[in-house]
Chains A and B, each alone.
Chain A
Amino acid sequence: MGAPNPWFSWAYVQANRDDITTALTQHVLLTVEAVAIAALVALPLALVAFRHPRLSGLVIGTSGVLYTVPSLALFAVLYPVLRDRRTTVLVGLVVYALLVLVRNVLVGLRGVDPAVTDAARGLGQSPGRILFTVQLPNALPSVVVGLRLATVSTVALVTIGVVVGYGGLGQLMYRGFTSLYRAEIVTATVLTLAVALVADVLLWLAGRLATPWARGRR
């Protein structure tokens, strides 16, 4: 290999600005969409599991089993059925994010101090009202932790989408790999880490804003 193979090249970034922007947008959109859908599905699922303890064993068990399935295998099974690259990756990402979220929402709901729930019941609140005004707000810190965890792992997981040819920044990594060009792989990797970091900080901030009462505790 006589040609120079730098770890980073500004010239590469400038020459490939469009490709990088496309991959980055694809990556961010996939992540946001996947986590949003997962959150919408996870909340009612966790609530049902919380209300019916018998179901919660089933939900936790199933999610544990599904979580063990590697992403490559999941994409492999989904793609031939769905026949759409974007949908395949999106559905796979939603499944994994869903599992993390359901678990964390359940943990949060279960961790609510029974004395607080009792107090609300003593004030004559209905179960529904207790859920929305006492239990869910108290579970919020745990939900935020789940959201952060799900988002960060989703960002990393998007790259596996290269097996079906829709992997956001992973696509750039793969191109860099096939041409053995380091700068492209490293640029895509650093951008992936940056996306994860920014998302994590944003969610952390949102969590702090949403739970002003929890700030003093830590």
Chain B
Amino acid sequence: MDSSQFFGISSIAYILAMVAYIAYLVFRNSTVGIIATTITSVGFISQTIAFFIRGKEFYDIGQMGIMRAIPLTNLYESLIFFVWCLILGYLIIEWKYKNRSFGAFITPIAGMALAFIDISGMDKNIHPLIPALQSNWLLAHVTLSFIAYATFAISFATAIMYLAVTTDNKKSGAYIFWTVTLGIFISILVAMGIDFLTFKIAVRTPEAFIKSYLFKATFRSASGLIVLFSYAASAVFVYLVWRYGYALKKLIGSFSISPDLLDDLTYKNIAIGFPIFTLGGLIFGAIWADQAWGKYWSWDPKETWSLITWFVYAFYLHARFLRGWRGHKIAIVAVIGFVCTIFTYLGVNLLLSGLHAYGGG
């Protein structure tokens, strides 16, 4: 078996696990919970094996030694690694806190990332390393960045859960914030799913995908009617999430998850992720750029967005410690932090470069 089959097994496992965790949340049957954990663990083990096999395949093609055979060189591999870190982090939390209900919030992020890989049809082939990527600093930079992204993703999930359990007044800002964020998140995902179903096409590069296909079946359709309908449908959807979002409160509330635990988990993940992100994401990235091009900082969109993300999380920490922010306000900052994280990784690669690419004709 080659790596793609093991990756396939893990993708299916995580999506099944997502269903199982949600079922567990709804039915609260401990057998379902054990099944969910088992499926996740199988997926995790399979993904770990896949990672090693891909490393071996890489090693055989590149012939540059072990350090140049770590498969973290493109969007596909890094997203896969992100999912791996996320699931590892989740399994640790489940084991430490003896609580399975987070699974229903974290496996969807893993599922989303994997679905995104398939929907965008991004290139899964192994490409030997181009000269600029042959650097140990880059390797450390990418690995640590993704560990940090995974902790931020977990903090996002716990922050949304926190907001869900502590708000029920539909007029309150915090309630509107989390339901609208979640609603938009899901709408975008559904729109991407429709693109996939409509075009059924695997394009070579993410850039080409953005340019020619992303949202072409919905928000960017040639037909004005479809565009109008798409926006209307997502508005209605966001409205529905807003209207019935409080149901989540009852659901999570029926488990032994206190808001304090959620707040603490959000903080702990950011407290682990922030120093790793600073060192791995910003500093190692700068050192790599310095070694490769003689410029440690050039304000390119990627660097700038990393800095913005860093500002948001630095703000989170200072607001918490210096101003004693707790509750809704701080959870909202954590959510914004992860939105920036996603944008740093995907938005910059896909949207901004895409924007400039077709801006230039």
On whether the two chains bind one another, the answer is no
- B interface residues (Cβ-Cβ under 8 A, vs A): none
- A interface residues (Cβ-Cβ under 8 A, vs B): none
